[in-house]
Amino acid sequence: MTAVDLFLPCAAGVEAFLADECRRILGARTRLLQGRGGVTVEADERGAMALNLHSRLAQRVLWPLAYGAYRHEQDLYDLARDVRWTDWITPAQTLRVDTTAQRSPLRSLNFATLRIKDAVCDAIREASGERPSVDTRAPDLPLALHLTPTHATLYVDTSGEPLFKRGWRDARAAGRDVTGEAPLKETLAAAMLAAAGWQGRAEDGPLLDPCCGAGTIAIEAAQIACAVAPGLARRFAFERLAPWGDREGEWRSLREAARAAVRAPAVPIFAGDVSFRMTDFAERNAERAGVAHALQLKTADALQRLAPAAQGSLMLNPPYGERIEAKGRGSTRPDALRPGAREGFDAGGTPAAFFAELASHWKRHYAGWTAWVLSPDMKLPTLMRLKESQRVPMWNGPIECRLFRFDMVAGSARRSTD
């Protein structure tokens, strides 16, 4: 076993939640350092396997290989030549190098990437007479080079495909959904749930996403409630790498333990969308994620849907595209039944009308609930005529957002301006 400082990148703002998660996975005494954009965790090969299998918040699990100062591309080549590459792959295997940089003085990051690739290939050719080839799609050895203004770190990406890919999303439909909205990344849905402190325990209460789209938030919540490990339905790069070659039994027992831990949910999870196509899509995603039994899906208008329990948490990223179509209160039939209806949302044709109406509806019918709404619109509380009790910074890809918390207290309807 080799203990190293693994680096687990995550979205900005998620670091503290990820640090807690690493301690839950590896034990309370795990040594770790919370940095900007990720967490450094001391762990060995087994720890790397466990983190890949169980982390909901990390983007990847990176294994460090080399670190040093650099000024020119040749310094990067020299740094990479010092690694014993034959410990990692055979010449018959493939590699890919991805480079990220913060204010690097180098003129071409592509050239930096090429120099790392050359160093790996030269080292293996020198040792064996043959060189590995590059595969940009499904490499056996994915390498990640990170450059600061003065230093370079070279990692093996033990995850391969980023960890937000849980393996249940239909690959053909993984892009934009039928409404033109991009589904949330699973890691961001998990971060929303972590920020809300929702862990699927009885005391956390039911959860409802009334604008569920492909179902990402509800499926993530259902997996948490049922203790389904996020990595159970996918493969990882480390499975093809030499240092894990003799750990197949250990990996199998980690996965078996994860399967054995799956339990019935302690709380119900509700989700719905005004579009039948989306609820149908979410249903199929939930089946592939192994949690269809824990999810109650319904095609319904969020502006009309009544609370399914006396209290609980609403959690959603409402539509915020420009393509808006009236579909709010007053429309009695779901869009699939209305001839000519387009996908979209809202009550009066504008986001302002939609959010004002949504807030009025919640004030009337969701007293006792806590609503968590992810939005890039910093003025959302004004649109909703509600005062938030918390706003947590989060990034939806490149879009800066806030997760707003609204406590729907009984009687707040009286303060409504509708």
Among 217, 226, 258, 371, binds ligand SAM (CB under 6 A): 217
- Which range in 22-30, 80-88, 240-248, 315-323 contacts ligand SAM by CB under 6 A? 315-323
Among 196, 222, 274, 291, binds ligand SAM (CB under 6 A): 274
Strand pairing of 295-299 and 313-316? unpaired
The size of the interface with ligand SAM (CB under 6 A), counted in residues, is 26
- Which range in 60-68, 122-130, 256-264, 270-278 contacts ligand SAM by CB under 6 A? 270-278
- By beta-carbon proximity to ligand SAM, the closer residue of 38 and 318 is 318
Question: What mask, x for binding ligand SAM by CB under 6 A, covers residues 41 to 60?
Answer: --------------------
- Which range in 5-13, 61-69, 143-151, 204-212 contacts ligand SAM by CB under 6 A? 204-212
Interface with ligand SAM includes 220 (CB under 6 A)? no
Interface with ligand SAM includes 213 (CB under 6 A)? yes
Using an 8 Å Cβ cutoff, are 57 and 42 in contact?
A: no
- By beta-carbon proximity to ligand SAM, the closer residue of 256 and 418 is 418
- Which range in 32-40, 131-139, 209-217, 228-236 contacts ligand SAM by CB under 6 A? 209-217
Strand pairing of 141-147 and 313-316? unpaired
Distances, alpha carbon 40 to alpha carbons 73, 136, 231, 274, in Å: 26, 27, 20, 42
Residues 6+ apart with CB under 8 A from 243: 2, 45, 87, 88
Cα of first residue to Cα of last residue in the chain, in angstroms, is 64
- By beta-carbon proximity to ligand SAM, the closer residue of 190 and 211 is 211
- By beta-carbon proximity to ligand SAM, the closer residue of 47 and 344 is 344
- By beta-carbon proximity to ligand SAM, the closer residue of 243 and 349 is 349
Nearest to 206 by CA among 358, 282, 310, 316: 310
Nearest to 116 by CA among 80, 87, 65: 80
Interface with ligand SAM includes 289 (CB under 6 A)? no
Among 317, 370, 375, 412, binds ligand SAM (CB under 6 A): 317
Among 47, 132, 183, 206, binds ligand SAM (CB under 6 A): 183
Could you tell me which residues are beta bridge partners of residue 97?
A: 143
For the bound state, the minimum distance from the C-beta of residue 210 to ligand SAM, rounded and expressed in Å, comes to 6
Interface with ligand SAM includes 273 (CB under 6 A)? yes
For the bound state, the minimum distance from the C-beta of residue 112 to ligand SAM, rounded and expressed in Å, comes to 35
Distances, alpha carbon 318 to alpha carbons 186, 197, 293, 308, in Å: 16, 20, 25, 19
Interface with ligand SAM includes 278 (CB under 6 A)? yes
The residue nearest ligand SAM at its CB is 345
Interface with ligand SAM includes 270 (CB under 6 A)? no
Residues 6+ apart with CB under 8 A from 169: 183, 214, 285, 288
For the bound state, the minimum distance from the C-beta of residue 173 to ligand SAM, rounded and expressed in Å, comes to 10
For the bound state, the minimum distance from the C-beta of residue 300 to ligand SAM, rounded and expressed in Å, comes to 7
Using an 8 Å Cβ cutoff, are 329 and 300 in contact?
A: no
Nearest to 312 by CA among 332, 296, 292, 334: 296
- By beta-carbon proximity to ligand SAM, the closer residue of 158 and 313 is 313
Q: Which two tokens stand for residue 288?
A: 């592939």
Using an 8 Å Cβ cutoff, are 154 and 6 in contact?
A: no
Interface with ligand SAM includes 186 (CB under 6 A)? no
Measure the CA angle with vertex 412, ends 408 and 417; round to 5°: 120
Question: What mask, x for binding ligand SAM by CB under 6 A, covers residues 83 to 112?
Answer: ------------------------------
For the bound state, the minimum distance from the C-beta of residue 156 to ligand SAM, rounded and expressed in Å, comes to 30
Outline where DSSP puts E strands in 313-381. 313-316, 370-375
Interface with ligand SAM includes 327 (CB under 6 A)? yes
- By beta-carbon proximity to ligand SAM, the closer residue of 275 and 313 is 275
Lateral strand order in the sheet of 32-35: 32-35, 38-43, 4-9, 62-69, 151-157, 141-147, 94-101, 133-134
Phi and psi angles of residue 80, each rounded to the nearest 5 degrees, phi first? -75, -30
- By beta-carbon proximity to ligand SAM, the closer residue of 21 and 335 is 335
Using an 8 Å Cβ cutoff, are 11 and 187 in contact?
A: yes
Question: Which residue ranges make up the site for ligand SAM (CB under 6 A)?
Answer: 177, 179, 181, 183-184, 210-214, 216-217, 273-275, 278, 301-303, 317-319, 327-328, 343, 345
